[in-house]
Amino acid sequence: MKKFLIIGLGNIGSEYVNTRHNIGFKILDHFANQEKLSYNTVKLGDITEFKIKGRTLLFLKPNTYMNLSGKAIKYWMEKENIEKENILVITDDLNLPFGSIRIKPKGSDGGHNGLKSIQQILDTSEYPRFRFGISDEYKKGQQVNYVLGEWSDDEKEILKERLQVASEVIKSFALAGLNNTMNIFNGK
């Protein structure tokens, strides 16, 4: 059975639950709620499992805080013997319009502390990532407040549909592969 590690980046704690920076957690929670999956708190994170057509998807929400995400990812990759080609890191991206999707096989950290940690600990920037646009609609000097701020009412309404699309991205990654998933979902 082929295994995948799907990682949603975010920060633990109730004050972060509905923030833009926690979109990785929000996407995994949406998927889990749809499929009636329950998370277990284990070493370095919360984890649940989803099986589909001969594939096992492990969903990981690291509890290491964003800037130490690489530690949790490396631990679970080694524990479950999952190759980097079969991981998908879900993260927020300021450089993309709100709700847009960009899937890539590799890339820079773009100043994102979670991706910096992963790149440093895995010693590579070549791993699949799913970037979810949160836009850059903030005033100069307000980036941190914007990223750690909660969704606006308008964003919350649009987010319902975008979370559904994000769940489809995850299934496609496991069933159709990275290249097909990029062709289907990039820019949507």
Active-site annotation, residues: 21
> What is the phi/psi pair of residue 91, to 5°?
-145, 160
Residue with tokens 């704690």: 13
C-alpha dihedral over 122, 51, 24, 40, to 10 degrees? -90
Residue 90, C-beta contacts closer than 8 angstroms, at least 6 positions apart: 6, 7, 8, 9, 23, 24, 27, 28, 129, 130, 132, 166
The two three-digit tokens of residue 59, written as one number: 């969903």
- First vs last Cα of the chain: how many Å apart? 30
The two three-digit tokens of residue 1, written as one number: 């059975």
Q: How far is CA 39 from the centre of its chain?
A: 16
Residue 18, C-beta contacts closer than 8 angstroms, at least 6 positions apart: 26, 150, 151
The two three-digit tokens of residue 66, written as one number: 């964003």
